Every structure is written in C-alpha cells, then in structure tokens.
Amino acid sequence: MQPDPKARALLFDCDGTLVDTMPLHLKAWEYAINFYGYKFDYDFFFSKKGMPSKEIIRLYNKQFGTNADPEKIVAAKNEFFKQYADSIKPIDPVASVVYEYHNKLPMAVVSGGSKDNVMQSLIVTGLDKYFDLIVTADDNIKHKPAPDIFLYAAEKLTVEPEYCVVYEDGDFGVEAAKAAGMMIVDVRDFIEVE
C-alpha cells in the first residue's frame, strides 16, 4: 500500500478506493433504474465503476437497447446517494496513506464521480482537508479509461507523470493510469472491495 520511494505526488480515485461508497452507488443505480421502469443489471453497473454517470447510461442504452434519459436517471441516482451519504466510511488502509503523506507529498482526488457526490463523500469522512486538488466528472476533461484526467492532475500538481502514484480500485482507472505512464497501487490487492 505504501507508495514507491520515487513518488513525488499521490493521486487517489474516490469511490471504492478512498471511501466505501460502492454499495451505496449500486443501490442508488438500482433505485434510479427501477424508478424509471428499466431493468437493473448489477454486473453491468459494477463493471463501469470509475466512469462518469451519464456515460454509463449511454452505454446502458447501447447494451440493453433502451432509451433511458441520462439526465433524469443520474439526477434520481444522485438524489438517492445524497439521502444516504451519512453512512459513508473511509477505507482505512488507503486513508492511512493519505494521513501519513499529508504535507509531505502533493495529493489529488481524481474521480469519475460527480463533484457533488465526491465532495459529500470526502466531507462526511473528514478527508476533504487533505487534498491539494480534486478533479471530477464535472471538469471538462476526458475521463477514465483515457489518461487525460490523471495527466491533468499531474500537470496541476507540477509533477511529471512517471513520479505520480495512482491508487485505484477499478479496471478503467488502472488502464488510465497505465496509459498516463504512472505508477499504480491497485487497492484490490490489499483490501476487500464490494
């Protein structure tokens, strides 16, 4: 879990990496999909973690031949998420790295989640005060699995990509970090994630 000694910056995914929100996100997806009369597919939504929500609905429509409105579904999903956000807890082994390297290395949250959801998760867990930069799906940057969002964070922290360590729990995030030429800690190797 410790970063490589060459690390000059640490970049963290949020959901499922820093905070234990994946079960809540999946419940929120199930609620929103069912509310609008569509069929919830756990494996589909679980496999898309790390992607922006509206993009997930576009892929859902393509895969299942539906015409779900991304705006309405995502709004319902986010409303459900906010309603139950107080239950969110930090993922302790990853949060421990954040506490240890605070004020030692620049750190950023780099998430495919919406800014509102990411900030709420960080505030509820008290992690919001540890980061120099927070980049989300609401920023106008190409997201995971493209490397752009990680490269943007490295540039803002003024650290070359090869000296950044990315903490991730999703296949799209790992793919993006590799494409960015960054070091990776796949937290799934250290913790049980749902």
Question: At residue 135, what are phi and psi to the nearest 5 degrees?
Answer: -120, 130
Could you give the CA distance from residue 114 to residue 120 in angstroms, rounded to a whole number? 10
- Provide the sign of the torsion angle of the four alpha carbons 111, 113, 115, 121, taken in this order: negative
DSSP, collapsed to helix, strand or coil, labels residue 165 as strand
Query: At CA 194, angle to CA 16 and CA 40, rounded to 5?
Result: 100
Strand partners, 110: 135
Cβ 165 vs Cβ 3: under 8 Å? yes
CB 190 within 8 A of CB 91: no
Alpha helices in 21-147, H assignment, sequence order = 22-35, 42-47, 53-64, 70-83, 92-101, 115-125
Q: Which residues are known catalytic residues? A: 13
CB atoms within 10 A of CB 65: 7
